[in-house]
Amino acid sequence: MEVSDGDLGCLELPDAKRCMEIDCPSDVARNLCPNLNVINLNPSTIPPGQNWTTVQTRGWDTDQKPFPLELTLSALFGSFEDTENMSCPEITLDCPQSPNVVFQDAIYICDRPGQDEICVDATDGACTKTLCANVVCPADVP
């Protein structure tokens, strides 16, 4: 690898180039990219008289490195509520998810009629995975 400060005059100097060897420790764990398992819309076609649907997302990060897994929802139109990332310290009746699973039980709110694409990004800070699903908002959305 070569590094330069951009001063072309330094290239002509005999001591302007230095080499060094870098040894990386063998016990450094390689980052594993997260899995993005689920994006469920219930319902995916919103009935007339209603302007919202639930959005369930589930991601799984086996190594929890370099940062904790984070799920982020996005859509071209509309908005979201209750998007906090949740996880379970242990499996219980109230929280049946595995300890490495991060999940959201959000709400998507239509702001216009027609189809929209809802996506979720799962990132651990080094890798990002994306899943998308389509929702159809009813014609009576103002």
18 phi, psi to nearest 5 deg = -130, 145
Reading the block at residue 125, the tokens are 């800070």
Confidence grade of residue 122 (pLDDT, cut at 50, 70, 90): very high
In this model, does residue 19 exceed pLDDT 80?
no
Say if 75 falls within a structural domain: yes
Say if 59 falls within a structural domain: yes
Say if 21 falls within a structural domain: no
Say if 24 falls within a structural domain: no
Say if 27 falls within a structural domain: no
pLDDT in tens, 76-105: 999 999 999 988 777 777 676 676 789 999
For 2-29, what is the mean pLDDT? 65
Give pLDDT, residue 8: 64
Q: Which residue has the higher pLDDT, 32 or 91?
A: 32
Q: CA–CA separation, 30 vs 45, rounded Å? A: 42
Q: Give the CATH number, domain containing residue 38.
A: 2.60.40.10
Asked if residue 116 lies in contact with residue 78, where contact means CB atoms within 8 angstroms, the answer is yes
Confidence grade of residue 1 (pLDDT, cut at 50, 70, 90): low
Give pLDDT, residue 28: 66
Say if 13 falls within a structural domain: no
User: How far does CA 138 lie from the centroid of its chain?
Assistant: 28
> Using the 8-state DSSP alphabet, how is residue 66 labeled?
S
> What domain count does the chain have?
1
pLDDT in tens, 34-82: 999 899 999 999 999 999 999 999 998 888 888 889 999 999 999 999 9
Nearest to 135 by CA among 66, 5, 28, 46: 46
Give pLDDT, residue 17: 62
Give pLDDT, residue 101: 86
Residue 45's domain comprises 32-137
In this model, does residue 114 exceed pLDDT 80?
yes
Say if 5 falls within a structural domain: no
Torsion of CA 40, 46, 51, 52, to 10 degrees: -10
Say if 101 falls within a structural domain: yes
Give pLDDT, residue 7: 64
